[in-house]
Structure 1
Amino acid sequence: MNILIVGNGFDLSHYLPTKYDHFMDVMGVIAEKDTGGLPKNLAEKSIDEWLNLLEKTFQKREGIASPPHDMTFDELFYKTRDSKFIEKTKEFYLTESVEICAKDVLELQYRLELNCWYQYFKNHVEEIKTWIDFEQKIEDVLKVFGRKVVEIETLDSKETIINYFNGTNDSMACISTIELKALNFFELTVKENMCRVLSRTRDGKPFQTSTGSFISLNKRFCIGDDLQNGFNPSKFLDFLNKQLEDFIKIFNFYLELVVKKLEHRTTFEILVKSNSFFEKNENDWIKPDLIYSFNYTNTYQRIYGSIGVEYLHGFHGENQNIVLGVADLKSDSLKMIKAYGFTKYHQKLFKDTDYLFLDVFKEKVKIHKRKIEYFEKDFGDNDPTAKKFERQKIMEVEGKLNLNISIWGHSLDVSDQDYILDLFSLNDDIDRNVRVTVYYFDKTAKFSLLNNLLAILSKDKVEQWMKNKWLCFKPNPEIKFLAQESSDVDQAS
């Protein structure tokens, strides 16, 4: 059986703009689009309330020409940091069919301005180069909160809260500027005008006070919305989760309004380098029997034809179930307050993605292992009968899985280590004829892929798989783009 496992590199090999940079560059251009300006009182309403008002406004304008705020593909990508890639996209796809209407532009502007995660990522746009970096930035926020949550939760009065965030004459604030800046993207604190105690007499009475603007906890994250009742970490986490889901909706908009609309103006052929020339490979991944996708797109089906695809991290669309999160919670304090909604495994279960990976084959391995146990009990170690040898041969055949697995465009990062461990356990007890080919973009990518496997599987297992030729690395297959007949182009448009 031939199985293809695809990551984002598969889409990029087909010049679809699904890199993190592509997405953020386009969102930045949309946010800067001159649409007359958003209301100044944005904080007074929720995103849903603003979108309802926007909907009513456009309903009233029905029959009247929409404002000239539509955005074409060229306008969306005119500030891209990956201009050569986008030129290729324009060469191979009907980019003129991509246009975001005025209403969608305005909706995205509201969503972007009111989304804390987008504002946080935008502030770190130069540091975040890949979707793995993106996941790391989510983890960075959670780590800061995990370190500080116990301290903040123990603050039991307005005075202790103010001193914690501002310090006193005798001490520094109990939270660093960097930590506070990270959490303040998510509105943890506000500035308030109040009188604070700087020092007290020996009997505890205020001795020195100061009136002014001080940093204080946001009341919305306190029990009963009252500072005196103390901090409620669950309310803050619920807000972070809601904001992350709203960010996912923004990303889904991008996939729906841009990537999905890119109809190819060429036909595609996949070529595998063999010796010194290129030839078609008719056996393995060109005609896979099954695809496991870590992407949210259906690129293989769109270009090469319908085939069974299991979307491990969800799929975009009206009923999207996109998974964006961290591999696991490393902080005991985060586990204590059940911050599992940020983990991929929680999201996969909650959103009901195709999260089962190689389960049919793992079950076959279990069944075969049980048969071996029964066989050894029945025949023992010293039974020389022909019946035993005949049965042994049959069992050897039954134990083969006969899987050719190609991995194209996946980073093999630790964030997906559970899948990687499952895959490389299939030959653990005996050689079940599972063969894995990992495709790489360049030597730097190969170096990173091997590094990631060594970190997850250990040196001994990687050496065993490569020595036995169960695992090999090959350069990315070539994509050959062939001009379609004019009638095909007309039909695609």
Structure 2
Amino acid sequence: MNILVIGNGFDLAHKLPTSYKDFLGFITYVNSFYNSNVKDIDIYKDAPNFKALNIDIQNYFLKKYALNKDDQFINELIYLSSDNIWIKYFKKCIEKNKIKGENWIDFESEITKVVKSLEYLKKHNDYNSQLTPGNRKYASNYIMYENGKNFMNDVSCKLVEKNILSNKLDYENIVDSKVNYTNLENNFFCKSNSNKIISELNNELNNLIRCLEIYLDYVVRENVKISNKLDDIEKINKIDKLISFNYSYTFKDIYDVKEETEYDYIHGVADKNKDIEKNNMVLGIDEYLDEKNKNIELDFIQFKKYYQRIYKNTGCKYKKCLEEIEENNHIFSKSISSNTFLNNIYFYGHSLDITDKDILQELIMLPKSQITIFYYSKNDYKQKISNLVRLIGQDYLNSNVYGSNPKIIFKEITK
């Protein structure tokens, strides 16, 4: 059996503008073009940042401006993105050059930092709220505490504007106060208010996902032409299963696949025709919270990718695939040699980041399966080795990359 596992690097290899920078660049200009006149457009279209966009996306803007502006999906995207907490935060990160890479895991790592800070702030203040004035402790991680307060402040201001909170939440340092904070309702660690903050952040994350959904399915898929197929993918004789961590149908759209090929979209697929409540795209985090404190983890469980996969019913077919493979392994185990592989699993354009550890670990360590990992450059090669160590451990990696018939093979992408 041949299984192909793809990540966002697969789309990028086809010259598709699907990186987080492409998405944010589109968001920036869609508002500008929609609210501008002809004179402003002439200025925008010559700007370096605009010219840095994919050429098909540039043409999309210029074409759309010439048409009427009563576009249902673009209006929806503009409405949802115009004051989105997460989008504003990501733009600030880019301005400060905090996000280094191109993939969606870089977004997810930033979401992780925010949620970790809020979790830390809440845990610290919950603890101090049980103590009497004079016995309270300062935060041991001042940076994380301050980051949590600043982000909480931004969200609380928005909730005041929406009349969900009566006034901005007070983030005065609890240690310096003589007040019994357990009786106050205007502080983040108050249960009702922290729940409102978490709920709003989750709603904003769903709005971000909806914007991404419209961008990928309505703008990119319908307007960006794919001119090339990948030689390394074409050389795979037959792909029986596709496990995709992307939000797109790129593989299905351009390759001559067999009718019996099975697809499993781990993080869901962009579909502009679904509303926010029914979107099935997963964008979140894993592996970040203090596992010793399960009550705190449950406060932020909606941001966890495994929770979203269950709730949105994505990424479940691969389990059945693994069961079939293990059954076949058992049937043929007595008739083949111990170093014979029955399955080939190819990873193309996937970072092997720990955010998807639960799934990746099962695939890579699957018995009787040879793993081929494609890498783009020497730096990419180094990063994938480092990520594999985090996923499966250095002992398992070392014992499976050597010999005449190794289980794990690294292969440079054909350029």
Pairwise TM-score range, normalised by the shorter structure? 0.7 to 0.9
Deviations 1:346-403 (A, max 9, x none): 000000113342543345536866x8xxxxxxxxxxxxxxxxxxx9844x48997621
Give the match for residue 357 of structure 2.
417
Q: After superposition, where does 1:315-330 map in structure 2 within 5 Å? A: 315-317=269-271, 318-319=273-274, 320-330=279-289
Give the match for residue 406 of structure 2.
469
Contact 1:155 1:231 in 2 (8 A): no
- Paired with 2:75 and 2:48, the residues of 1 have a C-alpha distance of 19
Contact 1:368 1:399 in 2 (8 A): no
Asked if 1:127 is matched to 2:102, the reply is: no
Contact 2:30 2:61 in 1 (8 A): no
- Paired with 2:329 and 2:343, the residues of 1 have a C-alpha distance of 16
AA of the residue aligned to 1:102: K
- Paired with 1:119 and 1:445, the residues of 2 have a C-alpha distance of 29
Contact 2:352 2:387 in 1 (8 A): yes
Q: After superposition, where does 1:39-438 map in structure 2 within 5 Å? A: 79-80=49-50, 82=52, 86-87=54-55, 99=64, 102-103=69-70, 104-125=73-94, 126-128=97-99, 129-130=101-102, 131-153=104-126, 177-187=146-156, 216=170, 227=186, 230-232=190-192, 233-262=194-223, 264=225, 266=227, 268-272=228-232, 282-284=235-237, 287-306=238-257, 307-317=261-271, 318-319=273-274, 320-331=279-290, 335-336=295-296, 338=298, 339-362=300-323, 364-365=325-326, 393-394=334-335, 396=336, 402-427=342-367, 432=368, 434-438=369-373
Contact 2:4 2:243 in 1 (8 A): yes
Residues 401 and 250 of structure 1, relative CA distance in 2, 3 Å threshold: same
Contact 1:2 1:404 in 2 (8 A): yes
- Paired with 2:408 and 2:63, the residues of 1 have a C-alpha distance of 41
Residues 399 and 362 of structure 1, relative CA distance in 2, 3 Å threshold: farther
Report the more deviating stretch, 19-28 or 352-361.
352-361
AA of the residue aligned to 1:183: M
Query: What is the Cα-based RMSD across aligned positions, in Å?
Result: 4.3
The size of the alignment, in residue pairs, is 371
Give the match for residue 6 of structure 1.
6
CA shift for structure 1 position 114: 2.7
Deviations 1:20-71 (A, max 9, x none): 11001111122334627xxxxxxxxxxxxxxxxxxxxxxxxxxxxxx989x9
- Paired with 1:397 and 1:98, the residues of 2 have a C-alpha distance of 61
- Paired with 1:265 and 1:392, the residues of 2 have a C-alpha distance of 43
- Paired with 2:3 and 2:128, the residues of 1 have a C-alpha distance of 55
Contact 1:328 1:344 in 2 (8 A): no
- Paired with 2:50 and 2:407, the residues of 1 have a C-alpha distance of 41
- Paired with 2:338 and 2:407, the residues of 1 have a C-alpha distance of 19
AA of the residue aligned to 2:6: V
CA shift for structure 1 position 281: 5.7
Give the match for residue 392 of structure 2.
457
Contact 1:8 1:410 in 2 (8 A): yes
Residues 326 and 187 of structure 1, relative CA distance in 2, 3 Å threshold: same
AA of the residue aligned to 1:138: I
Contact 1:439 1:477 in 2 (8 A): no
What are the ranges of 5 or more consecutive residues in structure 2 without an aligned counterpart? 161-166, 173-180
CA shift for structure 1 position 329: 4.5
Determine helix, strand or coil for the equivalent of 1:292. strand
Contact 2:14 2:229 in 1 (8 A): no
- Paired with 1:76 and 1:312, the residues of 2 have a C-alpha distance of 39
AA of the residue aligned to 1:325: G
Determine helix, strand or coil for the equivalent of 1:322. coil
Contact 1:94 1:263 in 2 (8 A): no
Give the match for residue 53 of structure 1.
none
Residues 471 and 282 of structure 1, relative CA distance in 2, 3 Å threshold: same
AA of the residue aligned to 2:267: H
CA shift for structure 1 position 333: 5.4
Deviations 1:397-433 (A, max 9, x none): 8997621221110000011111221012222xxxx2x
Deviations 1:247-296 (A, max 9, x none): 11111121123111135374x34324xxxxxxx96444xx4122110001
Higher CA-based Rg: 1
Determine helix, strand or coil for the equivalent of 1:313. coil
AA of the residue aligned to 2:270: H
AA of the residue aligned to 1:450: I
- Paired with 1:249 and 1:111, the residues of 2 have a C-alpha distance of 8
- Paired with 2:333 and 2:372, the residues of 1 have a C-alpha distance of 30
Determine helix, strand or coil for the equivalent of 1:406. strand
CA shift for structure 1 position 4: 1.0
- Paired with 2:252 and 2:282, the residues of 1 have a C-alpha distance of 21
User: Counting helix residues as a fraction of each chain, which structure ranks higher?
Assistant: 2
- Paired with 1:133 and 1:182, the residues of 2 have a C-alpha distance of 18
Deviations 1:106-128 (A, max 9, x none): 43333222321112212212322
Contact 2:349 2:374 in 1 (8 A): yes
What are the ranges of 5 or more consecutive residues in structure 1 without an aligned counterpart? 37-66, 165-172, 192-212, 273-279, 372-390, 479-493
CA shift for structure 1 position 180: 2.2
Give the match for residue 44 of structure 1.
none
Determine helix, strand or coil for the equivalent of 2:107. helix
Percent of aligned pairs with the same amino acid = 24
Determine helix, strand or coil for the equivalent of 2:406. coil
